[in-house]
Amino acid sequence: MLLETSGVGASVEIDRIPAPADVDFVQWLKVHPGTGFVVTVKPENRDECIRLFNDAGYTVSAVGEINDSLALDIVRGDERVTLFDFKKDSVTGIAHDKL
């Protein structure tokens, strides 16, 4: 939703998402899709943002980057899959003027 309404894209490195080591990762994502925060910050503020969340007791990781692709790509190693292409897909139906 954040990407679509902002008129940007992103790539997310799925292996950088913090998850419990003793559970199947895919099952964990299905069970807990809304129990985390997705926060975007300017690159120069990343470390401070991570520090603030860590200080509050959260497990935090920088997992991706915002870009101008108008797509959400999931990356694992050399594999890249486009999950949403906002030039043709919609999540909210609230289009940014770049779309």
| pLDDT value of residue 99 | 59
Give the residue numbers spanning the domain of 51: 2-85
Residue 90 maps to a domain: no
Element containing residue 48 per DSSP (H, E): helix 46-55
| 97 assigned to some structural domain | no
Assess if residue 93 is contained within a domain.
Answer: no
Contacts of residue 72, defined as CB under 8 A and 6 or more positions apart, other chains included, come to 3, 9, 10, 12, 82, 83, 84, 86
Decide if 98 is inside a domain: no
Number of domains forming the structure of the chain: 1
For residues 12 and 75, is the Cβ–Cβ distance under 8 A? yes
Residue 68 belongs to domain with CATH number: 3.90.650.10
Residue 24 CB partners (closer than 8 Å, separation 6+)? none
- Give mean pLDDT in consecutive 10-residue pieces for the chain, a chain of 99 residues: 91 90 85 76 95 94 95 96 93 74
Can you read off the two tokens belonging to residue 21? 């080591």
Q: Tell me which residue of 23, 19, 4 sits closest to 69, measured CA to CA.
A: 4
Q: pTM, whole model, 2 decimals?
A: 0.83
